[in-house]
C-alpha cells in the first residue's frame, strides 16, 4: 500500500494538520441537558411496559414522534420539509447557500420492542448540533442538512429512496406496522407518485455523517469514548441444509446412525471457531437451527440451519465461507451426511470516507476523548448514502453491547461526547471543504 | 452371578437339554407361501401411495384389517372373541383345557405412513403357527391363544387394558385416527363399561411370546437370522433448555458472545459421543432442537432440545445421564451459558424371561438358524404383559434397519424363519410347562 502515499494523500495530511491547529481550542459545545431532555421526550412516543419503545415505521407512534421531531427542528431554526420518500429534511442556512450542504442525521423508527437509543441518539444530536450552531451564531459556510430517514429498521427504505430508489416489489412489502411500504410512505406525508424527485444526484451533499450507538460491546468493554467507523461491513447469508437419515432412536445402534443433527452440531462449532480463530474482526453466526422430524425418539434425518458472515472486506467473507464449507465437507464425510449451502443475502461492504473519518478522529482528539477505528457490524442508512457522497460514522458505547432491546443504554455523558464530536466534525468538514471550493 | 446357579437353574438346564433332544428333529414347519399370502392380503387394508400402510388404530382401515384377521383365525380353527378392551383373542383348544394357555401374537395397527411388516409379521405368523398345529393334528397340551393387541403404536393401549388398566385421562386421549381411546375401543367392538373384565390375573397365561421385526440394523448388518430378545429397554427423556444471551450477530465480537447454540452444539456432540463410546448397547439421542429467536442475524439466546437414553439396565441409563449432565456443566462454564434438564418420560426396563428366551434360542439352533441375544430398543406389548406372565420376543432382520416407514422390509425367508422359531418355541414351552404341571 506504500505506493499509494501520493500527492492527494500528502495534501490531505497537510489539511488535517492545519485543521487540528485551527480548531483544537474551539470552545463550542452542545447543550447536554437539552439534548437529554429531547431524548427523554422522544422516548414517550410508543413507550412500552418494558421501558423501551415500539415505534415501528408508519405506526401512530412513529407519526407522533415525527411531528415532535419537526417541531424541534423548527425551534432550532431550520426550514423543514418531507421529501417524496417520507424522509424529514431540515435545512439550516449557511453563509454560501450555493455550496452543497453538509448532512447529518439518523432515524427515529424502532424495531418492535426496541430501545430508546438506537437512531434516537443520532437524530436528537443532529438537531442539537444545528441548534448549538444557531444559538452560538456560528454560521457554517455550507448549508447544514439534518435528515431523519424513514423506516431504517425495516431495511433502509428512506435512504434507498434517495439513492437507488425503490422497486415495485419493495413498495408492496409489508412493514412491521402492518402497512405496505407504499401505504406507509403515504401515511407519513411522502408522495408515492413523485418518488423520483427524492433521488439525490452524485455529490449533491458534501458528506453525510451519522452518530449512532455502537450496538456492540467493544467501546464499552475497552472503556473508550468514541468509535470512528472505518466502514460498514458486508453481509452474506446462506440457508444450510444437512441431510442424514431419519431412524428409530431406540433400535438404531450409535455406530449405525447417519444423524443430521450430530453433523449440524459439528458445523455450528466449526462456524464459531473459524469465525473466532481467524485473525481479524469478522463475525460468523448460526442463528437458526431446526431438526426434522424433530421428535425426541427419532434420529434427525434433516437439519435446517443458517449461516451469516460479516466483514469489512468482501474477500475475507469469501475466504471464511470457503473454510466453513471445506470443514463441512469433512464433517459430512465422517458422519455419512450431506451439506447444501444456498446463498440468500449479499450486501457488499461499504468503507467510510478516509477524510471524513480523519475529521471525526481529530474532533475526538481535540475534545480529549479516547477513540478507536472500528467496523460497523450493523447496517445503517450511511451505507446507502455512500452511493452519492462521502460518509462517516461516529459510535458511542452501548452498555454491555445490548441493542434492539428495551435494555439498550448509553449514558448522558457518552451521548454528549458523541454529539460534541459530531458538532466538531461538522465544523472541520465545513472548513476543509470551504478551503477546497 | 455365580451364586445363582442353584437348584432351579440346574433343573432348568436339564429340562432344556431334554427338550433339545426331544424336539431337535421335529420336522413341523409353517406354510411359508400361505404366510406370505396372508401378509400381502393384510397390506391392502390402508395401503398408501408410498407402498406402505396408514392403518392407525380405530381407522376404517384398522376395522377392515381386524375383520380380515378374525376370518383368518376362524379358518385356522380358533374360537375368536373381542375382549372388553378391543383386543382380538383367538383360542385353539389343547389336550387339557384346564391348563393356562400359552399366548402368542402382536398387533396390526400401524403408525401414520407406516410399513407392511411392523406388527403384521408377528400377527400373521401367530395365526400361521395355530393353523400349522391344527393341520398337522399336533394338539398342544395347553390351549394356545393368539392375541392381536389393539392400538400398540399409540401407546400399548390394548395390552395395558389387560394388565394395569386405563385411566380416565388415557381414555380421553386423542388417537391418530382422530377418535379418543374411549370412542376407539367402542368402534372396534370393545365394551368400555366392562374394561375391568379384560384384566388378566397374575399367571393367567403360561407365557407370552411375540415375533417382531427388529426395527434396527443389527441382525441385517451382521447377517444373522434370529434375535433372542434379552429385554425391552427402559427409556428416559428430558427437555433440555440452554440459556445464553441473544445479541446482534453483526456487532457482537466472537469473543464476547454467550451463544446458546454454540453451547447446545457441544451438548449434542457430547450426547452422541458418550452414548457411542461408553461400553455397552445403550443409545443416547438428541432428536429435537430449535434456537430462539431463530433469526440468521441474531445470536441465539436460548435453545430448546431433547435428550433420550435407552438401555436394558436402569442404572446404566442413570450413569450415562450423569456423564452427559456433568459434560454440559463444563460446556456451560466455558460458554457463559446455563443448562436445565427436565425429565418427561421414565419407562423402566423389562427383562424377558430366561426360560422363554432359552427356548427361543434352542428353537433357532434346532432349525440351524444363526442367532444373537440382544435388547429390544423399541417398546412392545410384551413389556406390558411381563406384569402378568413370563415373556419372550423373537426378532428377525429389518433391511437396513428401517422401520416406521413404507421402506421397512423383511424377506419372506426371514419371516418364515421367524415363524418357525415361534412354532418351535411354542412346542418347547408346551412340553416344558406340561412336565412341570
pLDDT single digits (tens) B235-262: 999 999 999 999 899 999 999 999 999 9
Residues of B in contact with A303 (CB under 8 A): 289
Residues of A in contact with B401 (CB under 8 A): 247-248, 251-252, 256
Asked if the model's pLDDT at residue B435 lies above 90, the reply is no
Answer yes or no: do A237 and B308 touch at CB < 8 A.
Answer: no
Residues of B in contact with A259 (CB under 8 A): 272, 285
Of A235, A269, A296, the CB nearest to B308: A296
Tell me the pairing of strands B283-285 and B226-232: unpaired
Dist CA B120 CA B152 (whole Å)? 12
| pLDDT for position A19 | 55
C-alpha cell at A164: 437507488
Please tell me which residue, B19 or B202, carries the higher pLDDT value.
B202
Domains and CATH numbers, chain B: 10-232+350-436 (3.40.630.10), 234-347 (3.30.70.360)
Q: How confident is the model at residue A2 (pLDDT cuts 50, 70, 90)?
A: very low
Work out the mean pLDDT of chain B and round it to a whole number. 93
Residues of B in contact with A233 (CB under 8 A): 250
Closest chain A residue to the Cα of B245, Cα to Cα: A402
Q: Give the best residue of A244, A285, A393 to mutate against chain B (max B CB count within 10 A).
A: A285
CA–CA min distance A251, chain B (Å):
4
Asked if the model's pLDDT at residue B4 lies above 60, the reply is no
Average confidence (pLDDT) over A19-36: 79
Contacts of B14 (CB under 8 A, 6+ apart): none
CA–CA min distance A273, chain B (Å):
9
**DSSP string across B122-172:** HHHHHHHHHHHHHHTT---SS-EEEEEES-STTTSHHHHHHTT---HHHHH
Question: Quick one: chain A helix, strand, coil %, rounded to 5?
Answer: 40, 20, 35
Length of chain A in terms of residues written: 437
Among A236, A277, A234, A231, smallest CA distance to A374 is for A231
Asked if the model's pLDDT at residue B1 lies above 50, the reply is no
Answer yes or no: do A378 and B250 touch at CB < 8 A.
Answer: yes
Answer yes or no: do A285 and B268 touch at CB < 8 A.
Answer: no
Answer yes or no: do B265 and A269 touch at CB < 8 A.
Answer: yes
Answer yes or no: do A252 and B404 touch at CB < 8 A.
Answer: no
| pLDDT for position B329 | 98
Contacts of B259 (CB under 8 A, 6+ apart): A272, A285, B244, B299, B300, B335, B337
Closest chain B residue to the Cα of A310, Cα to Cα: B250
CA–CA min distance B431, chain A (Å):
33
Among B110, B71, B309, smallest CA distance to B215 is for B110
Residues of B in contact with A297 (CB under 8 A): 235, 237, 285, 287, 308
pLDDT tens for A217-233 read 999 999 999 999 999 99
Answer yes or no: do A253 and B283 touch at CB < 8 A.
Answer: yes
C-beta neighbour count of B164 within 10 angstroms: 13
pLDDT tens for A39-69 read 999 999 999 888 899 999 999 999 999 999 9
Tell me the pairing of strands B207-213 and B102-107: parallel
Of B266, B269, B294, the CB nearest to A287: B294
Residues of B in contact with A308 (CB under 8 A): 249, 296-297
Dist CA B336 CA B289 (whole Å)? 20
Q: Give the best residue of B268, B308, B309, B408 to mutate against chain A (max A CB count within 10 A).
A: B268
Torsion of CA A245, A247, A250, A256, to 10 degrees: -40
CA–CA min distance B112, chain A (Å):
13
Residues of A in contact with B402 (CB under 8 A): 247
Q: How confident is the model at residue B81 (pLDDT cuts 50, 70, 90)?
A: very high
Asked if the model's pLDDT at residue A24 lies above 90, the reply is no
Answer yes or no: do A294 and B287 touch at CB < 8 A.
Answer: yes
Q: How confident is the model at residue A70 (pLDDT cuts 50, 70, 90)?
A: very high
Answer yes or no: do A289 and B261 touch at CB < 8 A.
Answer: yes
Answer yes or no: do A401 and B256 touch at CB < 8 A.
Answer: yes
CB pairs under 8 A between A and B: 215
Residues of A in contact with B307 (CB under 8 A): 296
How distant, in Å, are the alpha carbons of A175, A186, A327, B67, B273 from that of A333? 43, 55, 10, 50, 17
Amino acid at each position: 500500500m506504500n505506493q499509494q502515499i501520493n500527492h492527494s494523500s500528502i495534501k490531505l495530511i497537510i489539511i488535517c494538520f492545519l485543521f487540528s491547529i485551527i480548531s483544537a481550542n474551539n470552545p463550542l459545545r452542545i447543550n447536554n441537558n437539552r439534548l437529554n431532555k429531547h431524548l427523554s421526550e422522544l422516548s414517550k412516543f410508543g413507550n412500552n411496559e418494558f421501558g423501551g419503545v415500539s415505534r415501528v415505521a408508519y405506526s401512530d407512534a412513529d407519526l407522533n414522534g415525527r411531528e415532535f421531531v419537526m417541531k424541534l427542528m423548527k425551534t432550532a431554526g431550520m426550514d423543514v420539509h418531507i421529501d417524496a420518500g417520507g424522509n424529514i429534511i431540515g435545512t439550516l442556512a449557511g453563509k454560501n447557500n450555493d455550496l452543497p450542504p453538509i448532512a447529518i442525521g439518523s432515524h427515529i423508527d424502532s424495531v418492535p420492542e426496541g430501545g430508546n437509543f438506537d437512531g434516537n441518539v443520532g437524530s436528537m444530536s443532529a438537531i442539537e448540533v444545528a441548534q448549538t450552531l444557531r444559538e452560538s451564531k456560528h454560521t457554517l459556510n455550507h448549508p447544514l442538512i439534518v435528515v431523519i430517514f424513514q423506516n431504517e429498521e425495516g431495511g433502509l427504505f428512506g435512504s434507498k429512496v434517495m439513492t437507488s430508489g425503490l422497486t415495485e416489489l419493495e413498495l408492496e412489502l409489508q412493514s412491521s406496522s402492518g402497512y405496505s411500504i407504499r401505504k406507509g410512505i403515504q401515511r407519513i406525508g411522502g408522495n408515492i407518485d413523485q418518488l423520483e424527485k427524492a433521488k439525490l444526484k452524485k455529490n449533491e451533499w458534501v458528506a453525510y455523517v451519522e452518530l449512532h450507538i455502537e450496538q456492540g460491546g467493544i467501546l464499552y468493554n475497552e472503556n473508550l469514548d468514541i468509535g470512528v467507523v472505518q466502514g460498514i461491513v458486508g453481509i452474506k447469508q446462506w440457508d444450510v441444509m444437512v441431510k442424514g437419515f431419519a431412524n428409530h432412536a431406540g433400535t438404531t445402534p450409535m455406530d449405525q446412525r447417519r444423524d443430521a443433527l450430530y453433523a449440524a452440531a459439528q458445523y455450528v462449532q466449526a462456524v464459531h471457531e473459524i469465525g473466532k480463530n481467524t485473525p481479524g474482526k469478522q463475525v460468523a453466526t448460526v442463528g437458526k437451527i431446526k431438526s426434522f422430524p424433530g421428535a425426541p425418539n427419532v434420529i434427525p434425518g434433516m437439519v435446517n440451519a443458517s449461516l451469516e458472515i460479516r466483514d469489512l472486506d468482501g474477500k475475507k467473507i469469501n475466504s471464511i465461507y470457503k473454510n466453513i464449507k471445506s470443514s463441512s465437507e469433512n464433517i459430512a464425510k465422517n458422519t455419512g451426511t450431506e451439506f447444501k449451502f444456498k446463498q440468500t443475502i449479499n450486501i457488499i461492504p461499504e468503507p467510510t470516507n478516509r477524510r471524513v473519518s480523519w475529521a471525526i478522529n481529530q474532533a475526538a482528539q481535540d475534545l480529549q476523548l479516547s477513540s478507536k477505528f472500528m467496523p460497523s457490524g450493523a447496517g445503517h442508512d450511511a451505507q446507502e448514502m455512500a452511493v452519492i457522497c462521502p460518509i462517516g460514522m461516529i459510535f458511542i458505547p452501548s452498555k454491555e453491547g445490548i441493542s434492539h432491546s428495551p435494555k439498550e443504554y448509553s449514558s448522558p455523558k457518552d451521548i454528549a461526547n458523541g454529539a460534541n464530536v459530531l458538532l466538531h466534525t461538522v465544523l472541520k468538514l465545513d472548513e476543509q471543504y470551504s478551503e477546497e471550493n
